[in-house]
Amino acid sequence: MPIVRTLSLIALVWLAIAAYHILQQPPNPRPVALGGPLPAQTPLTPTPRARFTPTTRKGYYNIDVVSDFTLPASKALIFCGAGRNLHVRQDRDKLFRRGFSAVNQTHMIAEIEHWPTDNPPPGWRSSLKPSQRAVILYQNYFRDSFGLPWAANSLKASETVYKTLPGAPASRNTLHQACHELSGACVGFGDCPPTGHQSTFGHIVLDIENDPTPVFNRQEQVNLYTFMAKTIRGRISPQTKLGSIAPVPHNSYGYSRAQDYTAQPDWLWNTPARHTATSRERGMPDDILGKSFADYVDFQMPGTYYLYPEFDYSIDHTGNRSRHWLAALLGEQEVNRQLSAKPRMAWHWLFNTQNDKFNKSAKAEHPNPPTVAEGMAVFFWFTGAYGVLFWDDHIDLLPDQSTPADPARQNLGNDRIYACYEHYVHGLWRLFRHHSDLFNGRETYLNEATDCSYDGGKTWVQYNANQLKTRDLPFVRAIVNGNQILIAATKAYARPDQTTNVMVRYVQNGYLFYTSLRLTGDQIFLGRATMPRLR
């Protein structure tokens, strides 16, 4: 009998483990059998592709691989990439006719777009509209300019002064002062309002990255982040939008795992501020009690930089923890869209980020493959996201430099080939040059509710990014606006000679739309149709 009881106990343990893993999986959509013949199909009109020869020059890219186009007014695309100097002095507005809507301060032109000192000439005014200006505040702004070591070390949170208390000696080394002095940005643009200084950037983005901290220190972190966001909010124009690389509701770190879909919001995102043993004596005000960081920011920034495995077509990408460029791109947005209604803006970088734990990822030397670069610029906007911060670790490019003698400097900065930028801009051009009218605020993003059939119309399923990845199926996403449907599709990592079939339907709101796609290789398909109504 003891043996039987032991076996029963083992069986219960295994059942519990199995039940746990089942609960970690998002519910699979039940295949819907159609029954009877398929309705008439409506062909899609493929979106044109520009013809261009990608550059092979180092330290250079050609922004004229496409013609003029602009981003829809409802979207934002901030340029913080490399090489604006390649063209901007000849035509400083061209960047805004290649899909970008704003430029980061470090990439602006001194004395033309912004004044590099606090004392511009009387009557001077920047040529950039506020919506075309952005600034990123890194750790060093708080740590070096205001003597706040907390920006680099979260364990200093309990020592950080919020603001100087009445009667105490004045000090510049406070979080309040660091946030307050942001209001002086309008001086450099020559557009301070009559009511006093306030920041006139269109976007302010925090990139402090000190958010991980032990549990015992979490409330201190919550309080400082909430106070910081609220204080900045009071020093900026009504048109300025505020966001931060962290915290976000959930960070999947590029894995697009099934369990990410059952995650809860990160503690630093929406935990309310509460006083600690020393917060009052350090100047924490009562007006942030019960509020959280999420209450004061305008947008969240879920997204991930790629590592080299995402670019490697020779390995398998279908495991739950496998790294997959498109599943990561879409999955991060799908998860965070469910966790917060805040608009989403992701960071995009077209080279691998550095992480020596991953193959060929020690240096940022590998550009996105052409399809990945183009696909980022297309599929991301099908998630209903608000914007992108287009980032690079290099700023000015000097073309055709000789290969550095130091191997550690090779394939970095000027020694890179930037054709990936051309493919990215080409993706933007395909989407927004030809379909900008669909992004007018009345569109519906189907996301994982895109209805697909992989067996010729016998059954129909709706899969999230993880389910498409682990089933090794083509990715299809759709946007509907009135009687118009726009579809993006690709079979990620497919061989050039491989063909894949998939059907898409939209049978809602009085429309009866069916179509078939035949995908070639891993090319990014983009097509549009006018949907017929139910008779």
Residues 487 and 435 occupy one common structural domain: no
Residues 40 and 77 occupy one common structural domain: no
**Concatenated DSSP letters for 178-217?**
HHHGGGGHHHHHT---TT---B--SEEEEE-------GGG
The whole-angstrom separation of Cα 421 and Cα 444 is: 29
- Per residue in 362-408, pLDDT tens? 999 999 999 999 999 999 999 999 999 999 999 999 999 999 999 98
CATH number, domain of 95, equals 3.20.20
- Per residue in 78-91, pLDDT tens? 999 999 999 888 89
The whole-angstrom separation of Cα 349 and Cα 364 is: 10
Residues 427 and 491 occupy one common structural domain: no
Written in H, E and C, the secondary structure of 226-294 is: HHHHHHHHCCECCCCEEEECCCCCCCCCCCCCHHHHHCCCCHHHHCCECCCCCCCCCCCCHHHECCCHH
Q: Are 164 and 174 in contact (CB under 8 A)?
A: yes
What average pLDDT does this structure show over 274-296? 98
Residues in the chain: 535
Residues 85 and 41 occupy one common structural domain: no
Q: Which of 447, 475, 506 is the last residue of a domain?
A: 447
| CA angle, residues 184, 186, 191, in degrees to nearest 5 | 145
- Establish if 14 belongs to a structural domain: no
Asked if residue 28 has pLDDT above 80, the reply is no
Q: Are 261 and 205 in contact (CB under 8 A)?
A: no
- Establish if 9 belongs to a structural domain: no
The whole-angstrom separation of Cα 193 and Cα 200 is: 9
Name the residue type at position 277: A
Residues 500 and 521 occupy one common structural domain: yes
pLDDT at 262: 97
Q: Which of 447, 474, 505 is the last residue of a domain?
A: 447
Residues 410 and 462 occupy one common structural domain: no
Asked if residue 26 has pLDDT above 50, the reply is no
- Establish if 17 belongs to a structural domain: no
DSSP 3-state percent helix, strand, coil across the chain (nearest 5) = 35, 20, 50
If pLDDT is split at 50, 70 and 90, which confidence band does 31 have?
A: low
Residues 431 and 469 occupy one common structural domain: no
Terminal Cα-to-Cα distance of the chain (whole angstroms): 69
What average pLDDT does this structure show over 91-98? 94
Structural domain of residue 402, as residue ranges? 46-447
Residues 231 and 247 occupy one common structural domain: yes
The whole-angstrom separation of Cα 475 and Cα 456 is: 16
- Of 298, 382, 296, 293, which Cα lies nearest the Cα of 343? 298
pLDDT at 21: 42
Asked if residue 3 has pLDDT above 60, the reply is no
- Establish if 15 belongs to a structural domain: no
pLDDT at 14: 45
Residues 458 and 503 occupy one common structural domain: yes
Look at strands 133-138 and 203-207 and give their pairing.
parallel
Asked if residue 1 has pLDDT above 90, the reply is no
* Number of domains, the chain: 2
What average pLDDT does this structure show over 516-527? 98
Asked if residue 24 has pLDDT above 70, the reply is no
Cβ neighbours for 531, distance < 8 A, ≥ 6 positions apart: 42, 480, 483, 484, 485, 506, 511, 512, 513
pTM reported for the whole predicted model: 0.93
Residues 163 and 308 occupy one common structural domain: yes
- Establish if 8 belongs to a structural domain: no
Asked if residue 504 has pLDDT above 70, the reply is yes
Q: Are 463 and 471 in contact (CB under 8 A)?
A: yes
Residues 421 and 517 occupy one common structural domain: no
Look at strands 525-530 and 459-460 and give their pairing.
unpaired
Look at strands 45-46 and 525-530 and give their pairing.
antiparallel
Q: Which of 390, 412, 447 is the last residue of a domain?
A: 447
If pLDDT is split at 50, 70 and 90, which confidence band does 10 have?
A: very low
- Of 95, 86, 67, 60, which Cα lies nearest the Cα of 429? 67
- Establish if 117 belongs to a structural domain: yes
Distance of CA 179 to the CA centre of its chain: 25
Cβ neighbours for 344, distance < 8 A, ≥ 6 positions apart: 299, 300, 301, 302, 333, 336, 337, 383, 384, 385, 386, 387
- Establish if 4 belongs to a structural domain: no
- Per residue in 198-246, pLDDT tens? 999 999 999 999 999 999 999 999 999 999 999 999 999 999 999 999 9
- Establish if 316 belongs to a structural domain: yes
- Token output for 117: 């000192």
pLDDT at 37: 85
Name the residue type at position 511: Y
pLDDT at 22: 40
- Per residue in 172-194, pLDDT tens? 999 999 999 999 999 999 999 99
- Per residue in 118-149, pLDDT tens? 789 999 999 999 999 999 999 999 999 999 99
β-pair partners for 420: none
- Residue 167 CB neighbour total at 10 angstroms: 5
- Token output for 118: 């606090």
Q: Are 151 and 208 in contact (CB under 8 A)?
A: yes
If pLDDT is split at 50, 70 and 90, which confidence band does 294 have?
A: very high
Average pLDDT, the chain: 93
pLDDT at 85: 93
- Per residue in 313-364, pLDDT tens? 999 999 999 999 999 999 999 999 999 999 999 999 999 999 999 999 999 9
Residues 392 and 455 occupy one common structural domain: no
- Residue 324, sorted as left (phi over 0), alpha (psi -120 to 50) or beta, turns out to be beta
